[in-house]
Structure 1
Amino acid sequence: MNSSEADLGRIEAQMSTDVSHGQRNNDSSQNGGDGATPPTGDTESVPDYLTNLSLSDFVALPGEDVQMMTPDILSGMSNGNINCLRRLRSQETPMARLKSDTGDSVLHLAATWGHLELVKEIVNECPRLLLEPNSSGQTPLHVAAHGGHTPVVKVFVEVVNASASLCTEESQRLNPYVLKDEDGNTALYYAIEGRYKEMATLLVNANKDAPFLGNKKGISSLYMAVEAGEVSLVKEILKTTGNEDFEVRKSKLQGSKHLAHVALQAKRLDVLDVILKEYPNLMNEKDKDGRTCLSLGAYTGYYDGVCNLLEKSKESVYVCDEDGSFPIHKAAEEGHEKIVKKFIKSCPDSKHLLNRLGQNVLHVAAKNGKLSISMFLMYRESTTHLGVGQDVDGNTPLHLAVMNWHFDSITCLAMKNHQILKLRNKSGLRARDIAEKEVKPNYIFHERWTLAVLLYAIHSSDFESIESLTRPVEPIDRKNNRDYVNSLLVVAALVATVTFAAGFTIPGGYISDAKEKNLGRATLATNPTLFIFLLFDILAMQSSVATICTLIWAQLGDPKLIRESLHVALPLLLFALLCMPMAFLFGVITAIAHVKWLLVTISIISVVFFLWAIFILGPHVMLQRSYVSPSFTGKFLMKFMISKGLSECFVLLIRLCFFCCFCWCCLC
């Protein structure tokens, strides 16, 4: 305490001289190193409520007892009642001793509710409360900043600037700007978190060190400002570093130092430009996930950010992450085709970059099933050779696509370059060998679909004989197979019931006139469309009945019998399900043939539905059969993939129509 008392005596003497002149010298408070940086201007008058300030009051005397606030005092301070403060004076109650249950002083309460005049009175009476923490470790400056009370924060800054004691290294603990609460947060952190821009700028100008202090989570105020996209505030903070060396500036920043990554994630290019101007070496530094800035932009698909970084340094394209991947690999991994194209256009050599597994950009795209990038690379003359590239294990992009059952990528990889089908990896396996080895005996759609598409590509290349695109499905789980067979039985029974009933409710009705020779017969018996209706109705009913009869055999539990029954029943049920809507269509045509516009509309809708039903149910049936034609089934599967894309576009169009109708209704 002797050295501290000596310092206080020296500082108090200095302060008394300053106060006697009514001014505060700007340079004297700035030269204290880690202390407060005063506002701009050569001199500034000391506010009236600080003229009686005694600097020794900033240090709490040892051995003081804490006295709990009474409800009246707590209520009066929370309500900003200055009369309550006057009563305390009249009773000579020591203000510094009063605490609430949560450790708040009277200054905490006044600052929490933003009672400016009460704050001034308390600071003038007991300035050391400005440095007094509550049970959460927060000073009044913390609570004022957290509550967004900028005028109160201005008062605290004036108090600090009026005290030369806060400008000495020995009294660093008396600097409220750098004091942290139990979470490690400074008052500036709360100001930025609450988006109180004026307050945050005030605190930044008051102290140049606080923005760089990190909390317990490793988050600094500068980090928060970058994440919030406050470009002017970031400039103010970085301005305080002056012309310091990069390593010196970086060493001052506590916690996370990945500022450029944060700006990129926030999609704030203006902040990113400011950061990289002051910290250019952050361009190629890696974040906690081992990614450079360019890799992060490519991974997240932020095209504008990638373009911005490429303008600053194209060399970043050739800087790999900790996992050995390059930015172009990250873009391909996530399917960002536009960014991959930008990399290849700006840095043509980037397409040849290999990761630690020896995989090029096409390997990565095929491995992750990114069809659009695979198509772009395979159908581009300068990159089509990437398809025959082999990684450290000898795998081509086709091998990797098959290993991960990405059947979409197989069409462009295998159909564009048949040579890739012959290549073997270091284990001596072709893509076909891997597919046939890894495919499960039970029905897994994407696995069987991948095998079928691959075999069709081999069949189309004519370098190997293919007898069938599928292999038999082996029932494994007896309970699941029984449930599956029962489901098919229910569907077949419903089709049989509906089509049986439709045969006796013929469109057009029956002749009811007793004078007619054909009493009780169909009135439109000679109408061709009625004949077609009856034909499809009978076919649907008989096929569904045949399905029921076949599936009865599957109930016996013989695994081989189940497989053989399904091979017969599934095509029959598919045929019945297709005949039923066709019968309905011609039944409706029979009834409304005279209304041409309605006839055309219904016909178009029915044709679209019929094709959709074929492409939905067809693969389910074909991929379970023990033998299917390579030519017919392969072409069907290719058309299915095309129709799949068209169906998605059709669904998006319907959603757009509904959205437009909804908006129109809202406007009306």
Structure 2
Amino acid sequence: MVDDTLTAFRAAQQGNLSYFTTITEEYCHSGNSNTFWWSRKHEKSGDSLCHYATRHGQLTCLKLFYQNGADLEATNYDGKKPIHDAAQFCQADCLDFLLRHHVQVDCFKKSDWTPLMLACTKTSLKIVKKLIAAGADPLLKNKDGWNSFHIACRGGQIEMVKYIHQIQPDIWRTASHNGRTALHTAALHGHSAVTEYLLEMCQYPQDVSDTCGSTPLMDAVKSKSLEIVGVLVEKYMADVRKMDSVGRQVIHLAAQTGSVEILDYLITRHGICVDTPDASLRSPLHIAAQEGHVTVVEKLVKLGSDPGTVDSYGKTALDYAKSSRVLSCVQCLQSSTDR
């Protein structure tokens, strides 16, 4: 009798129905129960045959497994059920089959992720709609306090974001455990269309802060999105001088991320002092030198930054450049200091 577990999982992945038909016939001829065979799990992942068939869209195999007593609610070692895989891998036909057999739609895997949350990391609005139509709750949170709306905003799928907001108009009010809103998330990942939608359709304060004092504007700077920075500052009057919990302003974050365009925009258009100190008296030039961003160092020097400024530790930008061992930064600052 064929009883090779790894071969069975490969067959489920490939949709090799003839392999499983042979297995079924052999068990029937032997007069033995085959329930245990169909319920076995992969040694490393704990996946069942149903997981494999669902993940790879092998609906015919999935149906056969179910007919032979396989558990459609089986969990692997991460707590995932086949419905998680149907959602994550956008397998609509398998998802329909599972839902018709009334599997639990809001089950949690490891880290408290539901099938709907996994679907929101992808691009298939169809899968999201199927899950919500079956009763999936977009308001459920994972271990970090993110709900499906946060996750859709992170992925930047604007139609998905609009749909979830339409069916749950107050879902935007939810923040994660560290105080981050969907607006923070969209800005951090540089999704301009989602960010503008959230600003227009939801009532976020433009300078809403998370527990670290970060604002959506600060996150937009981290994403190097001059477009989002411009919208937040010009249209929604976001505060370019607001500090986070460690005393950094957006100009320091622009220097840290190496965004020359945003630095130039803040200094030349909005009059931010080129040597604005943070809580440790470090200027943007200190930070850029420490990070080894030579183009930012050159730009700041050109805009008038003082290479001789010392921070609260008595260090100059040149000291930080030497520590970072970026020779071009060292050379630029040495030539500026020698002038």
Question: Which TM-score applies when normalising by structure 1?
Answer: 0.40
Q: Partners of 1:83 and 1:360 in 2: how far apart? A: 67
Whether contact under 8 Å (1:362, 1:377) holds in the other structure is: yes
The residue matched to 2:80 in structure 1 has which SS? coil
SS at match of 2:274: helix
Does structure 1 conserve the Cα–Cα contact (< 8 Å) formed by 2:87 and 2:127? no
2:60 pairs with 1:148: no
Distance 1:208 1:81 in 2: 28
C-alpha contact 2:107 2:114 (8 A) present in aligned 1: yes
Shift of 1:232: 2.2
Superposed, 1:540-555 pairs within 5 Å as none
**Aligned 8 A contact 1:220 1:255 in 2:** no
Identify, as 1 or 2, the structure richer in helix.
Answer: 1
2:329 corresponding residue in structure 1: 446
Output the amino acid matched with 1:225. A
Q: Distance in 1 between matches of 2:93 and 2:49?
A: 18
Which residue of 230, 251, 262 corresponds with 1:362?
Answer: 251
Residue among 419, 434, 443 paired with 2:316 = 434
Are the aligned partners of 1:403 and 1:434 in contact in 2 as well (CA < 8 Å)?
no
Please give the alpha-carbon distance, in whole angstroms, between the structure 1 residues aligned to 2:48 and 2:295: 61
In structure 2, C-alpha distance between the alignment counterparts of 1:138 and 1:154, rounded to whole Å: 17
AA matched with 2:120: V
Residue 384 (1) aligns with residue 266 (2): no
Task: Please state if 1:346 is matched with 2:245.
Answer: no
Q: Amino acid of the residue matched to residue 130 of structure 2? A: E
**What residue number does 1:80 align with?**
21
Taking a change above 3 Å as real, the CA distance of residues 153 and 423 of structure 1, as seen in their structure-2 partners, is same
State the one-letter code of the partner of 2:107.
L
Report the CA distance between 1:272 and its aligned residue.
2.2
Q: 1:212 aligns with which of 84, 101, 106?
A: 106
Asked if 1:192 corresponds to 2:79, the answer is no
Per-residue CA deviation, residues 443-489 of structure 1 (Å, 9 max, x unaligned), is: 94421212323x3xxxxxxxxxxxxx2xxxxxxxxxxxxxxxxxxxx
* Letter paired with 1:227: T
Are positions 1:234 and 2:143 aligned together? no
Q: Where does residue 134 of structure 1 map in the other structure?
A: 40
SS in 2 for 1:250: coil
Q: CA deviation at 1:250?
A: 1.9
- Structure showing greater radius of gyration is 1
Q: Answer yes or no: is 1:221 the counterpart of 2:158.
A: no
Q: Deviations over 1:294-327 (max 9, x none)?
A: 3333333222232222223362542223433222
The alpha-carbon distance between structure 1 residues 315 and 155, as it changes in their structure 2 partners (threshold 3 A), is: same
Residue pair 2:87, 2:119 contacting (<8 A) in 1 also: yes
Name the residue aligned to 2:31: 94
Whole-Å Cα distance in 1 between the matches of residues 326 and 78 of structure 2?
A: 55
Contact 2:41 2:47 in 1 (8 A): yes
Distance 1:292 1:421 in 2: 37
Residues 479-515 of structure 1: CA distance to partner in whole angstroms, max 9, x if unpaired?
A: xxxxxxxxxxxxxxxxxxxxxxxxxxxxxxxxxxxxx
Distance in 2 between residues matched to 1:436 and 1:193, nearest whole Å: 49
**Structure 2: which amino acid aligns with 1:362?**
I
Deviation at 1:186, TM superposition (A): 1.8
Give distance in 2, aligned partners of 1:281 and 1:196: 27
Distance 1:139 1:401, change over 3 A: closer
Aligned counterpart, 1:48 = none
TM-aligned CA distance change 1:362 to 1:438, over 3 Å: closer
* CA distance in 2 between partners of 1:370 and 1:309 (Å): 24
- CA 1:135 to 1:150, structure 2 compared with 1: closer, same or farther past 3 Å? closer
Letter of the 2:40 counterpart: N
Residue 224 of structure 2 corresponds to which residue in structure 1?
335
Shift of 1:337: 1.8
Calculate percent identity across the aligned residue pairs.
17
Secondary structure, aligned partner of 2:213: coil
Q: Distance in 2 between matches of 1:306 and 1:376?
A: 20
C-alpha distance in structure 1 between counterparts of 2:231 and 2:239, whole Å: 10
Match for 1:191: what amino acid?
A
Give me the whole-angstrom Cα distance separating, in 2, the residues matched to 1:300 and 1:141: 35
Relative distance call for 1:144 and 1:234 in structure 2 (3 A) is same
Q: CA deviation at 1:95?
A: 3.7
Q: Is the 8 A contact 2:286 2:316 kept in 1?
A: yes
When residues 439 and 372 of structure 1 are mapped into structure 2, their CA distance, relative to the original with a 3 A threshold, is: closer
Q: Distance in 2 between matches of 1:409 and 1:134?
A: 58
Residues of 1 paired with 2:318 and 2:27: CA distance?
A: 91
- Measured at CA, do residues 412 and 277 of structure 1 come closer, stay the same or move farther in structure 2, by a change above 3 Å? same
**Conservation of the 8 A alpha-carbon contact between 2:241 and 2:250:** yes
Contact 1:263 1:272 in 2 (8 A): yes
**What letter corresponds to residue 127 of structure 2 in structure 1?**
L
CA displacement at 1:142 relative to structure 2: 4.6
- Offset, 1:200: 0.7
Task: Give the number of aligned pairs.
Answer: 323
Gaps of 5+ in 2: 9-16
The one-letter amino acid of 2:196's match is: C
Name the CA shift for 1:147/1:375 in 2 (closer, same or farther; >3 Å): closer
Alignment of 1:238-253 (within 5 A): 238-241=132-135, 250=140
Seen in structure 2, the aligned counterparts of structure 1 residues 339 and 447 have a Cα distance that, compared at 3 Å, is same
> Are the counterparts in 2 of residues 208 and 237 from structure 1 also a CA contact under 8 Å?
no
> What is aligned with 1:394?
281
Alignment gaps of 5+ in structure 1: 1-67, 109-132, 161-173, 456-468, 470-629, 631-668
Tell me: CA distance 1:368–1:330, structure 2 relative to 1, closer, same or farther (3 Å): same
Q: Deviations over 1:625-646 (max 9, x none)?
A: xxxxx4xxxxxxxxxxxxxxxx
Letter in 1 for 2:212: D
What does the per-residue CA deviation read over 1:231-252, in whole Å, with 9 as the maximum and x for residues that have no partner? Answer: 122123223448x8x8xx527x
For the Cα contact (< 8 Å) 2:285–2:317, is it kept in 1?
no
Contact in 2 for aligned 1:226/1:263 (Cα 8 Å):
yes
Give the corresponding residue for 2:12: none
Equivalent residues in 2 for 1:23-172, closer than 5 Å:
78=19, 80=21, 84=25, 88=29, 93-96=30-33, 98=34, 104=37, 108=38, 133-136=39-42, 141-142=50-51, 144-146=53-55, 148-151=57-60, 153=62
Q: Does 1:178 align with 2:73?
A: yes
CA gap 1:451/1:231 in 2 versus in 1, 3 angstroms: same
Q: Does the 8 A contact of 2:258 with 2:288 survive in 1? A: yes
- Shift of the 95–149 alpha-carbon distance from structure 1 to 2, 3 Å rule, reads farther
What corresponds to 1:259 in structure 2?
A: 148
Q: Is the 8 A contact 2:172 2:202 kept in 1?
A: no
Question: Is 1:300–2:189 an aligned residue pair?
Answer: yes
